[in-house]
Structure 1
Amino acid sequence: MQMECVQFDGLDLRLKPTELDVSQEDLIESNDNVIIEWLDYLMEFPNVTVFEQLRDLELRRWLDNRTYRVKVSFMTYNSYYDMLTTTSIHFMFGMSGRPWKQITHRSVVLESHADFVSWLYEVLFFGHILILFLNEGYESIACLREHKCNFVKAWKSYWNFWNVVDWVSIVLAFAILITWITQNVGQAELSTTLQSYIGVHSACRASFNTSSTECFNARAFDQQLFDDMEQLGFVIRANRWISGFYPVCIMMRLFKAFAAQPRLAIVTKTLALAANDLTHFGIVFLSIFFAYVAMGMAFFGREVESFASFDRASLALLRALMGDFSVEDMELRGRPVAFFFFGTYMMAAVLLLLNMLIAILMDVYGQVAAGSRTSESLWHECYDIMRRGMQKWTGGHTPLSEVVKKYVESRGEEAWESDKVIYVSDVLAAVPGLDKRQAEDEMTSALEEYAQENAPHIEIAEVISTMGKYLAPKTESEVPPLRNVIDVTRNGSVAGDENVSEAAAELVRAGLSVEVLLRAAGIVLDTTSQRRANGEAQVSALRHIVSSAELLCNEDKTVMMCQL
Structure 2
Amino acid sequence: YLLPGVDTLPEMQRTLLDMEDGCNYAHSIGDLNTCLCDWCKQQPRQPWLDEQTARVEVSYVVFNAQYGLYTYVSINFLFNRGGHVYRFTDMISCFQDPLRTSMGNSIPTAIAIAIWAVLQVKLLIDEIRDAIRTVRSSKHGIWRGLLRDYLHFWNLVDWLSMIVAGMAVFFWLNVRTQVDAVNSLMPATVRATMYPTGQAVGERRAAYQPTAEAWFTAAEQMSLANSACTVTIILYPLVIMLRLFKSFQAQPRLAIVTETIKTAIPELAHFFIVALCMFGCLF
- Normalised TM-score (structure 2): 0.73
Q: Does 1:254 align with 2:217?
A: no
Q: Does 1:139 align with 2:130?
A: yes
Query: In the superposition, relative to structure 1, how do residues 83 and 100 fare at CA in structure 2: closer, same or farther (>3 Å)?
Result: same
Aligned counterpart for 1:267 among listed residues 247, 250, 254: 254
Aligned counterpart for 1:171 among listed residues 147, 163, 167: 163
**Matching residue of 1:15:** none
**Matching residue of 1:184:** 176
Q: CA deviation at 1:56?
A: 2.9
- In 2, the alpha carbon distance for the partners of 1:73 and 1:279 equals 42
Identity of aligned residues (%): 21
**Matching residue of 2:20:** 58
Q: CA deviation at 1:91?
A: 2.2
- In 2, the alpha carbon distance for the partners of 1:105 and 1:130 equals 35
1:197-224 deviation digits (Å, cap 9, x = unpaired): 21222342x4333311x63242122222
Alignment of structure 1 residues 221-236 onto 2, 5 Å: 221-236=211-226
Contact 1:143 1:158 in 2 (8 A): yes
Q: CA deviation at 1:242?
A: 2.0
- In 2, the alpha carbon distance for the partners of 1:56 and 1:270 equals 65
Alignment of structure 1 residues 104-119 onto 2, 5 Å: 104-115=90-101, 116-117=106-107, 118-119=109-110
SS, match of residue 58 in structure 2:
strand
SS, match of residue 39 in structure 1:
coil
Paired amino acid for 2:95: V
Alignment of structure 1 residues 415-454 onto 2, 5 Å: none
SS, match of residue 195 in structure 1:
helix
Q: Does 1:128 align with 2:119?
A: yes
- Normalised TM-score (structure 1): 0.39
- In 2, the alpha carbon distance for the partners of 1:210 and 1:190 equals 27
Q: CA deviation at 1:174?
A: 1.1
Paired amino acid for 1:185: T
* Count of residues in Structure 1 that have an aligned counterpart in Structure 2: 243
Q: CA deviation at 1:166?
A: 0.8
- In 1, the alpha carbon distance for the partners of 2:239 and 2:110 equals 23
Contact 2:248 2:258 in 1 (8 A): no
SS, match of residue 175 in structure 1:
helix
Q: CA deviation at 1:82?
A: 0.9
Aligned counterpart for 1:77 among listed residues 37, 41, 63: 63
Q: CA deviation at 1:79?
A: 1.1
Q: CA deviation at 1:84?
A: 1.0
Q: CA deviation at 1:74?
A: 2.1
CA RMSD of aligned residues (A): 3.1
Query: In the superposition, relative to structure 1, how do residues 77 and 274 fare at CA in structure 2: closer, same or farther (>3 Å)?
Result: closer
Alignment of structure 1 residues 266-415 onto 2, 5 Å: 266-272=253-259, 311=278
- In 2, the alpha carbon distance for the partners of 1:179 and 1:157 equals 33
Query: In the superposition, relative to structure 1, how do residues 64 and 173 fare at CA in structure 2: closer, same or farther (>3 Å)?
Result: same
Q: Does 1:200 align with 2:192?
A: yes
Q: Does 1:157 align with 2:149?
A: yes
Q: CA deviation at 1:120?
A: 4.0
- In 2, the alpha carbon distance for the partners of 1:47 and 1:209 equals 15
- In 1, the alpha carbon distance for the partners of 2:135 and 2:240 equals 27
Query: In the superposition, relative to structure 1, how do residues 232 and 63 fare at CA in structure 2: closer, same or farther (>3 Å)?
Result: same
Gaps of 5+ in 2: 23-46
1:131-186 deviation digits (Å, cap 9, x = unpaired): 21122112212222334893123542223222121111111111112111111111
SS, match of residue 259 in structure 1:
helix
Q: CA deviation at 1:246?
A: 1.6
1:225-266 deviation digits (Å, cap 9, x = unpaired): 222222222222222222212212211222223433x2xx52
**Matching residue of 2:2:** 39
Contact 1:126 1:173 in 2 (8 A): no
Contact 2:139 2:145 in 1 (8 A): no
- Which piece of structure 1 moves more, 115-124 or 219-228? 115-124
1:458-504 deviation digits (Å, cap 9, x = unpaired): xxxxxxxxxxxxxxxxxxxxxxxxxxxxxxxxxxxxxxxxxxxxxxx
Q: Which has the higher strand share?
A: 2
SS, match of residue 90 in structure 2:
strand
